[in-house]
């Protein structure tokens, strides 16, 4: 599944799921445009790590809630790395509260980053993909793009919207050499989740392993986390020619969460 000669834009790729995806695509030969927050030294270390895999690497600090900065990010990939062949929309934020208590600004911020940013990025990247007759769009949605949970109104709405947007993109580009798919993870073992488990163990006087199972059991029949590398492998497959006829799909990676 070689991606030599391709350029991938991966939003939210300085940590967690996005970084796992960046590592897999760089390892397959793709050039990488990173995007996300972090200290300059940490970002430089990621660039060096990916460069050691043979990738050309650039970084965009674009604020994805601002359409003009999203467009500039895509233009940067074209000018510095030669294209915008693969677009992975991964960046996202979360806030938890009952609807009647949900802050208006949190709703607006979540919709802007988790949904609208993808629209703006796809709109900017599609002309270059169509010109080449080849493109891959992978939107990192969530199990919450397929089912709901209390107190997550904005996140669930945005992720459902992302799955729907993916289908529209797939239909509009069906004969342009471009595919669009959504990946819908359940629990993923990122550093933030590991910290959440450790905090629960301290608060409850229990073991980390007990809290891992307890957290997973709230939603997933399978008591096993997905990892950023697992998701990176799936995105690599979707970006490859092996997946050329897979488009408009919402692919669950959720330990059986949405099978219930």
Per-residue pLDDT reduced to its tens digit, 115-160? 999 999 999 999 999 999 999 999 999 999 999 999 999 999 999 9
Tokens 């609807």 locate to 99
Helix and strand element counts for the chain (H, E): 9, 7
With vertex at residue 92, the alpha carbon angle to CA 87 and CA 98, rounded to the nearest 5 degrees, is 145
Q: Which of 155, 187, 225, 257 is catalytic?
A: 155
Tell me the pTM: 0.96
Task: Tell me the pLDDT band of 1, cut-offs 50, 70 and 90.
Answer: confident
Per-residue pLDDT reduced to its tens digit, 38-82? 999 999 999 999 999 999 999 999 999 999 999 999 999 999 999
pLDDT at 217: 95
Other C-beta atoms lying within 10 Å of the C-beta of residue 90: 24
User: What's the rounded Cα separation, in Å, for the pair 246 and 129?
Assistant: 17
> What's the chain's average pLDDT?
97
The CATH code belonging to domain 7-188+226-255 is 3.40.50.720
* Closest to 159 (Cα-Cα) out of 236, 258, 227, 13: 258
User: What's the rounded Cα separation, in Å, for the pair 144 and 254?
Assistant: 10
- Domain extents for the chain? 7-188+226-255, 189-225
Per-residue pLDDT reduced to its tens digit, 175-200? 999 999 999 999 999 988 999 999 99
Other C-beta atoms lying within 10 Å of the C-beta of residue 175: 6
155 is catalytic: yes
pLDDT at 192: 86
pLDDT at 93: 96
């Amino acid at each position: 599944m070689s991606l030599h000669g391709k350029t991938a834009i991966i939003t939210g790729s300085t940590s967690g799921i996005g970084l796992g995806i960046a590592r897999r695509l760089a390892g397959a030969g793709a050039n990488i445009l990173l995007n996300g927050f972090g200290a300059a030294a940490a970002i430089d270390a990621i660039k060096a790590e990916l460069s050691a895999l043979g990738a050309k690497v650039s970084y965009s600090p674009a604020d994805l809630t601002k359409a003009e900065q999203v467009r500039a990010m895509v233009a940067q990939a074209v000018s510095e790395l030669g294209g915008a062949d693969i677009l992975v929309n991964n960046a996202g934020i979360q806030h938890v509260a009952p609807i009647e208590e949900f802050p208006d600004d949190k709703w607006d911020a979540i919709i802007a980053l988790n949904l609208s940013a993808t629209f703006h990025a796809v709109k900017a990247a599609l002309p270059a993909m169509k010109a080449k007759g080849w493109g891959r769009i992978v939107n990192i949605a969530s199990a919450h793009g397929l089912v709901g949970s209390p107190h997550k109104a904005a996140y669930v709405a945005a992720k459902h919207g992302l799955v729907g947007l993916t289908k529209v993109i797939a239909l509009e580009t069906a004969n342009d050499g471009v595919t669009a798919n959504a990946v819908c993870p359940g629990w993923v073992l990122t550093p933030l989740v590991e910290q959440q488990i450790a905090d629960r163990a301290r608060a409850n006087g229990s073991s980390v392993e007990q809290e891992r199972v307890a957290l997973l059991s709230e939603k997933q029949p399978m008591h096993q986390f997905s990892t950023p590398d697992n998701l990176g492998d799936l995105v690599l497959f979707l970006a490859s020619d092996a997946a050329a006829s897979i488009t408009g799909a919402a692919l669950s990676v959720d330990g059986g969460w949405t099978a219930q």
